[in-house]
Amino acid sequence: MPFSCLSAFLTMGTANPLRRKLSLSIITIIICALAFVALLYAERMSSFSSSAIFTFNSCARRNAAAGSKQKFSLFKERNVDSTGLNYGTDDRFEFDPDECSLVHGKWIFNRSIKPLYSDRTCPYLDRQVSCVKNGRLDSDYRHWEWQPDDCTLPRFDPKIALRKLKGKRLMFVGDSLQRGQWQSFVCLIESVIPEGLKSMKRGRLHSVFKAKEYDATVEFYWAPFLVESNSDLHIITDPKKRILKVDSVAKHAKHWIGVDILVFNTYVWWMSGLRIKSLWGSFANGEEGYQELDTTVSYTLGLKTWANWVDSNVNPNKTRVFFTTMSPSHQRSADWGNVNGTKCFNETKPITKKRHWGSGSDKRMMSVVASVVKRMKIPVTLINITQLSEYRIDGHTSVYTELGGKVLTDEEKADPLHYADCIHWCLPGVPDTWNQILYAHLL
């Protein structure tokens, strides 16, 4: 809360000179209390979207932008190795994070593009995402390339990526989709590292891939809500029994300290109902002190807790922070006009309709991310994968996945309505493109 409370004070308090006579802290506390109550009882975030608690102090923003410029130069080497980075034959310029948005573009089919790994060559993939091993026969989904409208996206070069990571820790933090992005990243780089010079240690919460020669690690930390919940380590399958501690993140965050590149996500776990049991502060009766909040309200509180941790613990001279936006699910084939389809089952081509947006991506949740990140002191680079992934109904694991540690049986595969997974993605596949974007930002 402190950041927004300060903004509330700035917009509501400074106009009247008499107010200055009052102690700043008293006004802040009163306004914070009012804002908090308003937040808790608001029907929808949008009902006060332009109200004071979300008004931003523009000076702080300008400072953040200046910081971001500095940070980019910090990570850009003087002699940029430009070998083979630009494959384009058109007049689009090479990707520059300050000049080009990667959000809009199209998928181009090119059979001569081969993924840098397969689920047979990369030993680190979970069975859950190893679609070919699990029986997927069509292969077109592995040959699409994201082409932004305004620039060319450099291809992922594992050797350059490793050089950028030299002496550094890269950590993905979030849910199972983030775990997919982590495994994709590991597989993209691991084939150029000789046997004996790499290692993998998997843990329930924290997993570490090491590239010894480069003194680099690519890590994953499991925190599906980023904030703490009673369902982090021992997953509670009934969403109604999950309770989120929307103001607590320290237990997870202590593992993020000292990391050089942090990549966060959180979305899909919040989408299990209209309301979420949320807990903050400490209550004498412990978990019974929760209150059911609208999903977007709870998400706002959780993300602000995360943002506050980042703002107070991350040194922007040392650490870069990224946030991967929501990964769309494709549960309703009517969204893309396939009225007789079953979820994403049997889809083999991306949607071509420009700006297609389905029911699996909640715009209100997206705007929460945008407004929280915009108000942060530490610059956070968004890896905005939502639109490009929206097109990729063909990229999900569908029935080529596992359930309870076992690959689906033929009977289960024949029942896509119940068994097709249209949330997770095959690897190699769409998350490789998310990492291509991350890679482009690291160059």
Ligand X SMILES: *[C@@H]1O[C@H](CO)[C@@H](O)[C@H](O)[C@H]1NC(C)=O
Residue 138 vs 287, nearer CB to ligand X: 138
Q: Residue 421 catalytic?
A: yes
Q: Residue 424 catalytic?
A: yes
103 binds ligand X (CB under 6 A): yes
417 binds ligand X (CB under 6 A): no
Out of 113, 200, 205, 403, name the contact with ligand X by CB under 6 A: 113
384 binds ligand X (CB under 6 A): yes
Q: Residue 104 catalytic?
A: no
73 binds ligand X (CB under 6 A): no
User: Which amino acid, 41?
Assistant: Y
Pick from 421, 391, 423, 422: nearest CA to 177? 423
Residue 278 vs 386, nearer CB to ligand X: 386
Write down the catalytic residue from 157, 232, 421, 432: 421
296 binds ligand X (CB under 6 A): no
Residue 83 vs 112, nearer CB to ligand X: 112
Tell me the residue number closest to ligand X, measured at CB: 387
Write down the catalytic residue from 252, 330, 396, 424: 424
Count other Cβ atoms within 10 Å, centred on residue 19. 13
* Residues 224-243 within binding reach of ligand X (CB under 6 A): none
Residue 228 vs 347, nearer CB to ligand X: 347
387 binds ligand X (CB under 6 A): yes
* Residues 311-330 within binding reach of ligand X (CB under 6 A): 315, 317, 325
CA 10 to CA 145: how far, in whole Å?
A: 46
Compute the least distance from the CB of residue 384 to ligand X, in Å. Answer: 4
Local structure of 403: helix, strand or coil: strand
Residue 279 vs 376, nearer CB to ligand X: 376
State the number of binding residues for ligand X (CB under 6 A): 18
CB 110 within 8 A of CB 143: yes
Contacts of 13 (CB under 8 A, 6+ apart): 19, 27, 31
Q: What single string gives the DSSP state of each residue in 330-362?
A: ---GGGGT-TT--TTTT--S---STT---TTS-
Residue 232 vs 311, nearer CB to ligand X: 311
- Cα-to-chain-centroid distance, residue 206: 17
- Rounded alpha-carbon distances, angstroms, from residue 98 to 72, 274, 370, 441: 10, 37, 17, 10
Out of 128, 386, 397, 401, name the contact with ligand X by CB under 6 A: 386
Cis peptide before 158 (omega within 30 of 0): no
Compute the least distance from the CB of residue 206 to ligand X, in Å. Answer: 26
DSSP character for 121? Answer: T
Structure tokens at 213: 């020669």
DSSP character for 440? Answer: H
382 binds ligand X (CB under 6 A): yes
Of 209-217, 255-263, 279-287, 364-372, which part binds ligand X (CB under 6 A)? Answer: 364-372
Structure tokens at 424: 């997770």
CA 146 to CA 87: how far, in whole Å?
A: 13
Write down the catalytic residue from 68, 176, 367, 371: 176
CB 412 within 8 A of CB 399: yes
CA 384 to CA 84: how far, in whole Å?
A: 25
369 binds ligand X (CB under 6 A): yes
Compute the least distance from the CB of residue 211 to ligand X, in Å. Answer: 25
Interacting residue ranges for ligand X, rule: CB under 6 A: 87, 103, 110, 112-113, 315, 317, 325, 339-340, 346, 366, 369-370, 382, 384, 386-387
Which amino acids are annotated catalytic? 176, 421, 424
